[in-house]
């Protein structure tokens, strides 16, 4: 999701205005000090709870990847410079300009809000610096630049189209009546359009389409209309996810809920409860039944404790940073060489669904459609939907 989502409930706000510095320089095999490479990170680390959840989780993955890199006799000293864009596009653009002009970074990672990425990606492309976009998921983030000669815009995150396609393939196959409940903000309207086009492409129709403003406090009226239309599956693309679960008992209505990957956050489980969320389906790119993913999950729990709450987002932050660090090992502080190295990586061992060769000259997405699957909440855990 771009996720402009807003989840109700108590949530810790974290403002990061400064930057995080690197550890001491590592030694090369020759005994000389490694070159210092500056990497900038822009993430939403305060503001709406869901924005913070995305931003902090992706940053946890970045931090874990860097910690492991520093512990493994690295070829370069990495200085990580982290700024909080507060989910504000103007601030995000200003911070990117600061990273380019003042901090002199060799590459940039970020951010949560797809609108923010759309706002600053042209600046990064013009500056000829590699961008590892994430966890923003608007479908066209890399496509806008892929025909540039060359493109510097990469991503390691979910892609909206991939999860919508997986959801509709499953939904049309298993349910006769499907409804949609979406927000009236930019993301909600975009998602609604994609879903309706996807249904038409599958020769199917939604039995009801309901919407609500992002600031609405009760979605019971919309749920009653979906109930009256007989919707067995409700596709949920509204900001206030918890309002649907709270409204269903009032409406005497318990459809299957499916939506974007925001539904897989531990924060959603904590807010709506284990019983209410049971059976909810969403897009995923991390299979915790896989040994590599399970090992990563265990390491993150040891490292971050209760602050670690979103495995799939953290895993993509981790893989995105590892890809960038592998490219830095080849290209040093030279942005052009880092960019070229990213395209040529062919031996990557991801914890997420990313393949061994994630990128090519005409594909700057670390995930392809085949790497995205559907997850489902079962007994307090997100597992692969069978």
29 or 280, which is more confident: 280
Percent of the chain with pLDDT over 70: 91
Q: Note if the pTM is more than 0.85.
A: yes
Average pLDDT, the chain: 91
- The pLDDT assigned to 348 comes to 97
End-to-end Cα separation, the chain, in angstroms: 23
Closest CA to 256 of 172, 165, 178, 161: 178
- The pLDDT assigned to 363 comes to 97
Cβ neighbours around 52 below 10 Å, total: 25
Please, which residues have CB within 8 angstroms of residue 182's CB and are 6 or more apart in sequence? 188, 189, 191, 192, 195, 209, 210, 211, 235, 237, 238
H or E stretch covering 319: helix 311-331
Assigned CATH for 36-158+290-371: 3.40.50.2300
3-class secondary structure, 356? coil
Asked if residues 155 and 130 have their Cβ atoms less than 8 Å apart, the reply is no
pLDDT (tens digit, 9 = 90+) per residue, 25-73?
Answer: 333 333 344 589 999 999 999 987 888 999 999 999 999 999 999 999 8
Percent of the chain with pLDDT over 90: 84
- The pLDDT assigned to 34 comes to 59
Same fold, 36-158+290-371 and 161-259: yes
Token representation of residue 146: 């892929």
pLDDT (tens digit, 9 = 90+) per residue, 100-139?
Answer: 999 999 999 999 999 999 999 999 999 999 999 999 999 9
Q: Could you tell me how far CA 143 lies from the centroid of its own chain?
A: 17
3-class secondary structure, 180? strand
Closest CA to 63 of 268, 290, 308: 308
> Does 23 score more than 50 pLDDT?
no
Pick one of 3.40.50.2300, 3.90.1150.10, 3.40.50.2020, 3.40.50.1980 as the CATH number of 161-259.
3.40.50.2300
Token representation of residue 217: 């406090």
Domain definitions of the chain by residue range: 36-158+290-371, 161-259
> Does 11 score more than 80 pLDDT?
no
* β 281-284/373-378 pair status: antiparallel
4 or 298, which is more confident: 298
pLDDT (tens digit, 9 = 90+) per residue, 151-196?
Answer: 999 999 999 999 999 999 999 999 999 999 999 988 889 889 999 9
> Does 6 score more than 50 pLDDT?
no
**Residues in the chain, how many?**
386
Closest CA to 39 of 317, 299, 368: 317
């Amino acid at each position: 999701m771009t996720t402009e989502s807003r989840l109700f409930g108590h949530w810790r706000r974290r403002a990061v205005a400064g930057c995080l510095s690197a550890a001491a320089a590592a030694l090369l095999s020759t005994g000389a000090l490694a070159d210092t490479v500056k990497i900038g990170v822009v993430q939403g680390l305060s503001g709406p709870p869901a924005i913070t959840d995305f931003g902090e989780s992706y940053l946890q993955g970045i931090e874990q990847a860097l910690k492991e890199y520093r512990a493994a006799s690295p070829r370069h000293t990495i200085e990580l410079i982290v700024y909080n864009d507060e989910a504000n596009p103007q601030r995000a653009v200003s911070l990117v300009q600061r990273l380019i002009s003042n901090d002199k970074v060799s590459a940039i990672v970020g951010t949560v809000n797809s609108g923010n990425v759309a706002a600053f990606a042209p600046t990064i492309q013009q500056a000829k610096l590699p961008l590892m976009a994430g966890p923003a998921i608007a479908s066209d983030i890399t496509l806008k630049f892929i025909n540039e000669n060359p493109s510097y815009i990469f991503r390691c995150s979910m892609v909206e189209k991939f999860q919508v396609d997986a959801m509709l393939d499953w939904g049309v196959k298993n349910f006769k009546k499907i409804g949609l409940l979406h927000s009236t903000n930019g993301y909600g309207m975009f998602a609604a359009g994609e879903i309706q086009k996807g249904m038409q492409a599958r020769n199917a129709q939604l039995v009801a389409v309901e919407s609500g403003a992002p600031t609405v406090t009760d979605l019971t009226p919309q749920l009653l209309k979906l109930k009256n239309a007989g919707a067995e599956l409700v596709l949920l693309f509204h900001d206030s996810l918890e309002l649907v679960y709270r409204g269903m008992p009032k409406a005497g209505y318990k459809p299957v809920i499916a939506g974007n990957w925001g539904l897989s956050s531990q924060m959603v489980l904590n807010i709506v409860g284990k019983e209410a969320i049971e059976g909810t389906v969403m897009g995923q790119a991390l299979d915790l039944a896989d040994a590599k993913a399970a090992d990563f999950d265990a390491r993150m729990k040891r490292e971050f404790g209760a602050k670690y709450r979103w495995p799939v987002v953290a895993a993509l932050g981790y893989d995105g940073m590892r890809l960038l660090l592998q490219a830095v090992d080849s290209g040093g502080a030279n942005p052009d060489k880092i960019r070229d190295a990213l395209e040529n990586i062919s031996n990557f061992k991801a914890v997420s669904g990313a393949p061994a060769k994630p990128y090519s000259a005409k594909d700057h997405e670390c995930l392809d459609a085949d790497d995205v699957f559907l997850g489902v909440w079962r007994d307090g855990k997100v597992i692969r939907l069978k």
